[in-house]
Amino acid sequence: MSGAYKSHADGGFDPNALPVVHNINYRDVVAQNVTVSAILDGLEKAHFTGICISNVTLNLGPAARELQWNCTNVSGTTSRVTPKPCDELPEKAGDCPFPEDKLPIDDVVLKSCSTA
């Protein structure tokens, strides 16, 4: 997850218009043969905050890097994450909360089509 795109769509962008990246949650993940656990790279003037990672097991592969977690300009918490995350994401008991708000897509009823 990175905010460092190093380019903009056009020359008319406002360099002071910074995004707010907050409350990004990852939960219930298992991965095999992992090379690098995470590269989390917020912006120097707009840190990514409220990151929550819980119940994650990343099994490293033979080509795994020595530095598994690379965290810059981010903050948040983790719970039951292996391998141990970066210091910017300290351990805190409990799973990451996910929003319980209902999305409009939840009410869409799919129609069946036939060629008969």
Task: Decide if 1 contacts 24 (C-beta within 8 A).
Answer: yes
Task: Decide if 49 contacts 1 (C-beta within 8 A).
Answer: no
Task: Report the SS3 class of residue 105.
Answer: helix
Q: What are 31-66's pLDDT values in tens digits?
A: 999 999 999 999 999 999 999 999 999 999 999 999
**CA angle (22, 24, 30) in 5-degree steps:** 160
pLDDT value for 99: 75
pLDDT value for 116: 66
Reply yes or no on whether the pLDDT at 8 is more than 70.
no
Give the integer Cα–Cα distance in Å for 53 and 37: 12
Count of beta carbons in the 10 Å neighbourhood of residue 50: 14
Residue 1: pLDDT band with limits 50, 70, 90: confident
Closest CA to 89 of 60, 52, 35: 52
